[in-house]
Structure 1
Amino acid sequence: MENKAYEEEQDDGIKVCTGVEIRENRPIENQTKTKDGDALLYSIEDTPSWYTCVILGLQHYLVAVGGLIGLPLLVASPLCIANDDEGDVARALLITSLFFVSGICTILQTTFGVRLPIMQGGTFSFLPPTLAILALPHNQCPAPLPEGFMNSSKTLYNDTDGSIVDGAEVWQRRMREVQGAIAVASLVQVILGFSGAIGFLLQFIGPITVAPAVALIGLDLFSAASYNASPQWGMAMFTAFVLVLCSQYLKNVKIPLPAYSSTKKCHIGRTPIFKMFPVLFALACGWILSLIFTVTNVFPNDKNHPYYRARTDVRSNVISNAPWFYFPYPGQWGLPRVTVAGVIGMFAGVIAGVMESIGDYYACARLSGAPNPPKHAINRGIFTEGFGCVLAGVIGTGTATTSFSENIGAIGITRVGSRRVLQVAGCLFVILGMLSKFGSIFVTIPDPIIGGLFCVAFGMITAVGISNLQYVDLNSPRNLFIIGFSLFMGLAVPEWMKANRGIIQTPSVEGNQIITVLLQTSMLVGGFLAFIFDNTIPGTEKERGILAWRTTEHGVEPMDEDQMKKAESECYNLPFPTNCCRFSRFIPILPEFGQQNVTVSEDNATSTRI
């Protein structure tokens, strides 16, 4: 469809182009509006111009970078990666591999998976079992040899049997065991999605279950925000201040900029750049200020000083040691090794990741102007995530992938919910993952700046979870009990588990790991309790908010069944016809799943889009 520029009518009747160019993929009557009139700049089916997509995609890339680089750096030490030039190269390759896999998984998820604008990235759910595997006796790091031994430029170790081994082989051997555990355990996630088991549970899920589950995603991440911001709270709050200033106070300010439209061609238009790119402005301002303080040594160059992590040169060695071009491929560290103990331990990460992703889907749908995801979309999303986890395992990133809550929060801040923007962000991850020298530049973003962004983004996710309660009767003692108890226990139980590590003692070591990981996941604890109570304590569907929640699109107005199906098909149908097979209604990941009669319609063939 032809590109069009938004126009705004002034008091004198003259229409002035805003400079924001949009290719409309949905009828104007279906565009997302909110009760307060603060409409999305781009809803899920909208396609911004290519240059706008690139800038918005880069914005999402920068939001995700902070969360992605942390995992490879956390597992580097347990993997026995040395703290030298060779070890720095290994860390750079791990980061590159995770960027590459995250980009591929994001493209697959937004195009063929749940089809929401949702970023895929490394998950901390798999970290506890990974550390448990690396803590096993046969994975203990060997003693290093004296520096300069045999005048070798490589790091050498005195292994457990007294032999001298190459440092690269030491950590790659441990990585192969982690790879095998992740890849095999993730096949369970693939089966859960493809079989429709996840979609079956959705018929028992309502706003009382979703509200505490999604809210706890944001509340549980306060530690990640605090950890990143703690080295220099001044920088973190400065970044958060710029982000709030741009996204809330300056969101209606339009700046004259060169623009292009099919009617006016090249001209000067007014664009709400503060509303579109608040994260980019916040990152740039924080990064520049931190660079000035680094050059002038306001932030001391002492690794033991708390302000050290606020410097921009903390990870500069990653840039210098990263190769110019690197293509991650399956088996790059060798053939993955599968152990029963490792696979069973990883099951906990799989279950926690699945439950967290379901909550993320609902949060992302609400923020991007989409109806609640239907069964087939969630089945397909979990199936695609499982495939992505298997891919991460065989390539060797040190972790698996899942939905990134940080970027969901960014959608709420920027008011940009376009699927195409996240597809572009995925492409940026793939490209900059292969051009690792350029991609490593963004690794130098100081932790406090990332922490400031997280403070705002995670708060937005928490608020989105709570907003689901608008459909519920909040005068009902039944509902108040379920919501309050689920939220409280979702915070209390994981906190108790973290303060009493090793408290779970059963005859099975793998069982201890699974129970520990599950009880440490706030969203899982709170969501499970809300799910059980909401489906066992008597209450009407109106009281529980089921009817209003399922027949309302993004909290605006109720829709009948035909309108709901049309809205769902626009957002969640695959980008190619799927009703050409008579057996498609038996496949849980297809839109026709469960329908009695499947016929090929012209609308289905022409309305699907990538």
Structure 2
Amino acid sequence: MAVKGIGDDIHFHVNDVPHFTEIILFGLQQMLVCISGLLVTPYLLSNMLCAGVETLAIRVQIIAATFVTTGIATILQSTFGLRLAILHGPSFAFLPALHTFQQNYPCTSDTDPMQWRDKMQLISGSLFIATFLMPLFGITGLIGKISRYIGPVTIVPILVLLCVGTVPDIEQKVSLHWISVLELVLLISFVVLLENVEVPIPIYSFKEKKIKTIETRIFGQFPYLLGIAIVWFVCYILTVSNLIPEGSAARTDHNESIRVLQQTPWVQVPYPFAFGFPKFNVALAFAFTASTIACMIESVGNYGFMLIFIGVFSKVSALLATIPEAIIGGVLATGMSLICGVAFANLQSIDLGLSRNLTIIGLSIILGCTIPAHFEKSTGITGNETIDDSMGTLLKMGMLVGGLIAFLLDTIAPGATRKQRGFQEETEFEIEIDVEKDGFALSSFANRAILKVPSITKLPVVPSKESIKRIEELRMKKKFGEDQIIRGKK
């Protein structure tokens, strides 16, 4: 049985090229929507380095590097990968690993602020090793095989524990100043209460040569951008009117902020090893490996040039780095709330009438909180320093502990079918999609190049030889007609 017409109501298909002005507007919108999420990790990471007065300058570098690498990753993925219209930025799945790192290397009065570079090299080197899993799982096809066994019963505890693991960071940021509560209230209002409210906005029409108004869901489309801009402006008003004391986390005139903004060059291209040659830490590498696996599992259940442009013009990064740190608390709280909501949304495909499923989910979440809490107090499991550091780091990550428990119990425990466990049933019919609308169909040039080296079609990331030939036949059929192709074959 074949089903046609899938996706006919889509405005743009994957191979369609919108008008240049539409490309600019769509890209700008996507960038503005995601830019607030890209700022959270640089803010958290720069504070973990304990760099003292250099924290803000480091934050500028990390923000610039984040924008450039996110832009490059987005371009590559949207052009050569799955080609989805999504932005590829830092994942919150790595925050628990960074939080564990912060516990092992806390910022105290005795901390040497000159050692921040060593910490950054440890983080970058360990992360570099851990993220090798992603291309390895993709090239070998392991992620496809593993995804058959990872269902909502496993994904829900992982995402819930990810949110629980960021609670200390949220509390630390929110407690800096009450302005973070205002940020949180605004974001909740925009996302929940005002999402569908259409606001008339005046624009000038060059075609009609007059000013007219258009109605748009500005609160639903740009909640984070509006929230940050409004609260940032409130902080500025409170600063110039001296309604908040000197040194407050909500002030916009910190000496370090102004100094960095003045001294940062207009153009600064991020480059590899900007913080020195990466170093390796076994415990941290294991922690990032666990986060990498969680990130891939999370994806089983996620505009470029503009981001690169902003990242290269480091004055913009320096300006963004002057956002009061207290504002980030409200942004992080709202972002993690959304992830937690997505976690619970996975429950709709699970049979919650089975005590088996409820027990596995509940047990994995409880143990995912209890076991890390115990090992944060206990040290010296085996007596070997390397093993203790590695095991201690892993066992402090509730996301890993709870996810592993849920996966093992869901895999070995009887009493439920795959459908009751939340797995999607494989369709028995074949979906026919126009080859020009098929996002997985490579260009004819690429297909001919692949067929010249047929051995590479055995890789899971490369289409099979039969699939490529079928796509080319469909293209020929559409271009010349079926009768001419049949006569040509004879």
Question: Normalised by the size of structure 1, how large is the TM-score?
Answer: 0.64
2:348 to 464, 470, 475: 470
Matched, 1:533 2:409: yes
Could you list the per-position Cα deviations for residues 509-564 of structure 1 after superposition, in whole angstroms to 9, with x for gaps in the alignment?
33333322322223222221111111101122232232xx355xxxxxxx65524x
The match for 1:412 is: none
Distance 2:97 2:282 in 1: 12
Report 1:245-324 matches (<5 A).
245-258=189-202, 268-302=213-247, 308-314=248-254, 315-324=257-266
Larger deviation, residues 524-533 vs 238-247: 238-247
- 1:54 aligns with one of 28, 35, 39: 28
Query: Which residue pairs with 2:71 in the alignment?
Result: 103
The code of the aligned residue for 1:573 comes to F
- Is 1:487 the counterpart of 2:365? The answer is yes
Q: Given the superposition, is the C-alpha separation of residues 178 and 59 from structure 1 closer, same or farther in structure 2, using an over 3 Å criterion?
A: closer
1:307-456 maps to which residues of 2 (within 5 A)?
A: 308-314=248-254, 315-333=257-275, 336=277, 342-362=280-300, 364=302, 424=303, 426-456=304-334
Matching residue within 130, 141, 164 for 1:196: 141
Task: Give the Å deviation of 1:329.
Answer: 2.0
Residue range with higher mean Cα deviation, 59-68 or 532-541:
59-68
| Structure 1 residue 264: Cα displacement | 9.0
1:129 deviation in Å? 8.3
Q: Is the 8 A contact 2:368 2:401 kept in 1?
A: yes
Please give the residue correspondences for 1:48-127 in structure 2 after superposition, counting only pairs within 5 Å: 50-75=24-49, 77=50, 81=51, 83=53, 89=57, 92-113=60-81, 115-116=83-84, 117-121=86-90, 123-124=94-95, 127=98
Aligned letter for 1:105?
A
3-state SS of paired residue (2:382)? coil
In the TM superposition, what is the alpha-carbon distance from 1:602 to its structure 2 partner?
4.6
Cα distance in 2, alignment partners of residues 605 and 133 from structure 1: 58
**Matched AA of 1:200:** K
Which segment drifts farther, 536-545 or 177-186? 177-186
**Do the aligned partners of residues 256 and 519 (structure 1) sit closer, same or farther apart at CA in structure 2, a change above 3 Å counting?**
same
Q: Which amino acid aligns with 1:587?
A: L
Contact in 2 for aligned 1:115/1:571 (Cα 8 Å) = no
In structure 1, what is the Cα distance between the partners aligned to 2:218 and 2:365?
Answer: 37
Question: C-alpha displacement at 1:71, in angstroms?
Answer: 0.8
Secondary structure at 1:310 match in 2: coil
* Separation of aligned partners in 2, 1:603 and 1:320: 60
Identify the structure with the greater strand proportion.
Answer: 1
Q: Deviations 1:369-407 (Å, cap 9, x if unpaired)?
A: xxxxxxxxxxxxxxxxxxxxxxxxxxxxxxxxxxxxxxx
> How far off its partner does 1:52 sit?
4.4
1:193-233 deviations in Å (ceiling 9; x for gaps): 32223332111112212222223323332222222211123
User: Does the 8 Å CA contact 1:62/1:442 hold for their aligned counterparts?
Assistant: no
Identity percentage over the alignment? 25
More helix by share: 2
Displacement of 1:182: 4.3
Measured in 1, the distance between the counterparts of 2:253 and 2:298 equals 34
Q: Could you say if the C-alpha distance between residues 506 and 248 of structure 1 is closer, same or farther in structure 2, counting changes exceeding 3 Å?
A: same
- Cα distance in 2, alignment partners of residues 504 and 572 from structure 1: 52
Once the two structures are TM-superposed, the CA of residue 354 in structure 1 deviates from its matched residue by 1.7
Q: 1:38 maps to what in 2?
A: none
| Residue 479 (structure 2) aligns with | none
The amino acid that maps onto 1:326 is: Q
TM-aligned CA distance change 1:60 to 1:171, over 3 Å: closer
- How far apart, in 2, do the equivalents of 1:285 and 1:333 lie? 34
Q: Secondary structure at the match of 1:324?
A: coil
Indicate the residue corresponding to 2:471 in structure 1. 601
What is the aligned counterpart of 2:336 among 458, 466, 491?
A: 458
Give the paired residue count. 453
Does structure 2 retain, via aligned residues, the 8 Å contact 1:348–1:514? yes
- Corresponding residue for residue 164 of structure 2: 219
Q: Check conservation: 1:214, 1:363, Cα contact below 8 A.
A: no
Partner of residue 161, structure 1: none
1:503 aligns with 2:375: no
Q: Can you list the C-alpha shifts for 1:88-123, whole angstroms capped at 9, x where unaligned?
A: 655543543344334333433444445552432274
Match of 1:542, SS? coil
Q: Kindly tell me: are residues 262 and 352 of structure 1, through their superposed partners in 2, closer, same or farther at Cα, counting changes over 3 Å?
A: farther
Match of 2:482 in 1: none
Mapped contact 1:432–1:439 kept (Cα < 8 A): yes
Which residue identity lines up with residue 452 of structure 1 in the other structure?
G
Rounded Cα–Cα distance in structure 1 between residues aligned with 2:199 and 2:278: 56
The answer as to whether partners of 1:319 and 1:440 remain within 8 angstroms in 2 is yes
Deviation at 1:475, TM superposition (A): 0.8
* 1:558-610 C-alpha deviation (Å, 9 max, x unpaired): x65524x969x9786376566644445521223x37x976534159979xxxx
Question: 2: distance between equivalents of 1:438 and 1:269?
Answer: 29
8 Å CA contact retained: 1:182, 1:343: no
- Please tell me whether residue 232 in structure 1 is matched to residue 177 in structure 2: yes
Aligned residue number for residue 545 of structure 1: 422
Task: Tell me the CA shift for residue 263 of structure 1.
Answer: 11
Listed one character per residue, the Cα deviations across residues 322-358 of structure 1 (whole Å, up to 9, x for unaligned) are 2222112234455x265xxx25334313322222212
Question: CA 1:208/1:49 → structure 2, altered by over 3 Å: closer, same or farther?
Answer: same
Q: 1:320 to 1:260 in 2, by over 3 A?
A: closer
| Change in CA separation of 1:596 and 1:220 when aligned onto 2, cut-off 3 Å | farther
Q: CA RMSD in A?
A: 4.0
The 1:541–1:276 alpha-carbon spacing in structure 2 relative to 1, beyond 3 Å, is same
1:259, distance to aligned residue in structure 2 (A): 6.4
Q: 3-state SS of the aligned residue for 1:83?
A: helix
